[in-house]
Chain A
Amino acid sequence: MKDTLIDTSSQVVAGSLEEAAALVRDMKKPGALEKFVDWARMHSLWPIPFGTACCAIEFMGMVSSQTDISRFGAEFVRFSPRQCDLMIVAGTVVNKMAPVLKKIYDQMAEPKWVISMGSCANCGGMFNTYSVLQGIDRIIPVDYYVPGCPPRPEAVVYAMLELQKQIGRESGVLSSQERQREFWVRGIDGHGQTPKSRILHGERK
Chain B
Amino acid sequence: MQPFPRDIDAGAPLDLHSERMKLNWGPSHPATHGTLRVLLELEGETIAKCDTEIGYLHRGKEKLAEDWNYNQCVNIMERMNYCSTVINNCAWHQACEKLFEIEIPPRAVYLRMILSEISRIADHMTAIGPNCVDIGVLTPFWYTWDIREKAYDIIEFVTGARMMSAWTRVGGLAADAPEGFEERVRQFVPEVYREMDELDKLLAANRIFNDRSRGVGTIGPEEALSYGWTGPCLRATGVAHDLRVASPYLAYGDMQFDIPVGEHGDTYDRIFVRIEECRQAARIIEQALDNLPGGPVNTGKRHVVLPSKDAVYNQMEGLIHHFEVIMYGPKAPKGNICYDASEGGNGELGFTIVSDGSAKPYRVSVRSPCYYIFSALPRLVTGRLLADLPAIVASLNIIAGELDR
Any A–B CB pair closer than 8 Å: yes
A residues sitting closer than 8 Å to B (CB atoms) are 50-54, 56-58, 60-61, 64-66, 79, 91-92, 94, 96-97, 100-101, 104, 126-132, 149-150, 152
Across-interface contacts of A101 in B (CB, < 8 A): 28
Q: Which residue of B lies closest to A153 (CB)?
A: B162
> Are the C-beta atoms of A66 and B149 separated by less than 8 Å?
yes
> Are the C-beta atoms of A129 and B164 separated by less than 8 Å?
no
> Are the C-beta atoms of A56 and B34 separated by less than 8 Å?
yes
Across-interface contacts of B29 in A (CB, < 8 A): 79
Known: A53-B57, A60-B145, A61-B149; 7 extra A-B contacts, CB below 8 A, are A57-B82, A61-B152, A65-B142, A94-B57, A100-B27, A126-B64, A152-B162
> Are the C-beta atoms of B30 and A61 separated by less than 8 Å?
no
- Measured CB to CB, the closest approach of chain A to B92, in angstroms, equals 15
Interface centre among B35, B82, B152 (most CB of A within 10 A): B35
Across-interface contacts of B164 in A (CB, < 8 A): 54, 149-150
- Measured CB to CB, the closest approach of chain B to A106, in angstroms, equals 13
Which of the residues A51, A104, A131, A152 comes within 8 Å of B59, measured between beta carbons?
Answer: A131
> Are the C-beta atoms of A52 and B141 separated by less than 8 Å?
no
> Are the C-beta atoms of A132 and B34 separated by less than 8 Å?
no
> Are the C-beta atoms of A126 and B76 separated by less than 8 Å?
yes
Is B124 an interface position by the 8 A CB rule? no
Nearest first, the 3 A-B pairs at minimum CB distance are: A129-B60, A54-B82, A79-B30
> Are the C-beta atoms of A51 and B141 separated by less than 8 Å?
no
Across-interface contacts of B30 in A (CB, < 8 A): 79
> Are the C-beta atoms of A130 and B145 separated by less than 8 Å?
no
Is B298 an interface position by the 8 A CB rule? no
> Are the C-beta atoms of A132 and B59 separated by less than 8 Å?
yes
> Are the C-beta atoms of A127 and B146 separated by less than 8 Å?
no
Contacts of B391-405 to chain A: CB distance below 8 A: 400-401
- Measured CB to CB, the closest approach of chain A to B145, in angstroms, equals 4
Please measure, in the bound complex, the distance between the C-alpha atom of A110 and the C-alpha atom of B381, giving whole angstroms: 38
Contact (A57, B35) CB under 8 Å given A97-B27, A126-B75? no
Is B79 an interface position by the 8 A CB rule? yes
Interface centre among B56, B75, B83 (most CB of A within 10 A): B56
> Are the C-beta atoms of B64 and A54 separated by less than 8 Å?
no
Please measure, in the bound complex, the distance between the C-alpha atom of A75 and the C-alpha atom of B337, giving whole angstroms: 52
Across-interface contacts of B34 in A (CB, < 8 A): 51-53, 56, 91
Please measure, in the bound complex, the distance between the C-alpha atom of A17 and the C-alpha atom of B141, giving whole angstroms: 31
> Are the C-beta atoms of B57 and A92 separated by less than 8 Å?
yes
> Are the C-beta atoms of A52 and B400 separated by less than 8 Å?
yes
- Measured CB to CB, the closest approach of chain B to A64, in angstroms, equals 4
Is B331 an interface position by the 8 A CB rule? no
Across-interface contacts of A61 in B (CB, < 8 A): 145, 148-149, 152
> Are the C-beta atoms of B57 and A50 separated by less than 8 Å?
no
Which of the residues B28, B61, B130 comes within 8 Å of A100, measured between beta carbons?
Answer: B28
Q: Which residue of A lies closest to B72 (CB)?
A: A126
- Measured CB to CB, the closest approach of chain B to A129, in angstroms, equals 3
- Measured CB to CB, the closest approach of chain B to A194, in angstroms, equals 22
Interface SS majority for chain A: loop
Contacts of B31-50 to chain A: CB distance below 8 A: 34-35
B141-178 Cβ-contact flags toward A at 8 Å (1 or 0): 11001101100100000000011100000000000000
B67-91 Cβ-contact flags toward A at 8 Å (1 or 0): 0000000011001001100000000
Please measure, in the bound complex, the distance between the C-alpha atom of A185 and the C-alpha atom of B23, giving whole angstroms: 37
> Are the C-beta atoms of B64 and A127 separated by less than 8 Å?
yes
> Are the C-beta atoms of B60 and A132 separated by less than 8 Å?
yes
Q: Show 17 residue pairs from A and B whose CB-CB distance is below 8 angstroms, ordered by the A residue.
A: A53-B82, A54-B82, A54-B163, A57-B83, A64-B141, A65-B146, A66-B145, A79-B30, A91-B34, A94-B59, A100-B27, A100-B28, A126-B64, A126-B75, A127-B59, A127-B61, A128-B64
> Are the C-beta atoms of B58 and A131 separated by less than 8 Å?
yes
Across-interface contacts of B64 in A (CB, < 8 A): 126-129
Which of the residues B35, B63, B83 comes within 8 Å of A130, measured between beta carbons?
Answer: B63
Q: Which residue of B lies closest to A63 (CB)?
A: B145
> Are the C-beta atoms of A52 and B126 separated by less than 8 Å?
no
Across-interface contacts of B75 in A (CB, < 8 A): 126
Is B55 an interface position by the 8 A CB rule? yes
> Are the C-beta atoms of A129 and B79 separated by less than 8 Å?
no
Across-interface contacts of B57 in A (CB, < 8 A): 52-53, 91-92, 94, 97
Contacts of B289-335 to chain A: CB distance below 8 A: none
Contacts of B354-388 to chain A: CB distance below 8 A: none
Across-interface contacts of A150 in B (CB, < 8 A): 163-164
Across-interface contacts of B148 in A (CB, < 8 A): 61
Please measure, in the bound complex, the distance between the C-alpha atom of A58 and the C-alpha atom of B145, giving whole angstroms: 11
Please measure, in the bound complex, the distance between the C-alpha atom of A51 and the C-alpha atom of B58, giving whole angstroms: 15
Please measure, in the bound complex, the distance between the C-alpha atom of A100 and the C-alpha atom of B36, giving whole angstroms: 12
- Measured CB to CB, the closest approach of chain A to B389, in angstroms, equals 16
Which of the residues B58, B145, B149, B162 comes within 8 Å of A94, measured between beta carbons?
Answer: B58
Across-interface contacts of B142 in A (CB, < 8 A): 64-65
- Measured CB to CB, the closest approach of chain B to A1, in angstroms, equals 33
Across-interface contacts of A129 in B (CB, < 8 A): 59-60, 63-64
Q: Which residue of B lies closest to A51 (CB)?
A: B34
Please measure, in the bound complex, the distance between the C-alpha atom of A127 and the C-alpha atom of B67, giving whole angstroms: 11
Which of the residues A56, A66, A127 comes within 8 Å of B60, measured between beta carbons?
Answer: A127
Please measure, in the bound complex, the distance between the C-alpha atom of A89 and the C-alpha atom of B14, giving whole angstroms: 50
Which of the residues B35, B61, B146, B401 comes within 8 Å of A97, measured between beta carbons?
Answer: B35
Q: Which residue of B lies closest to A78 (CB)?
A: B30
Please measure, in the bound complex, the distance between the C-alpha atom of A51 and the C-alpha atom of B82, giving whole angstroms: 13
Q: Which residue of B lies closest to A56 (CB)?
A: B34
Across-interface contacts of B58 in A (CB, < 8 A): 94, 96, 131
Across-interface contacts of B141 in A (CB, < 8 A): 64
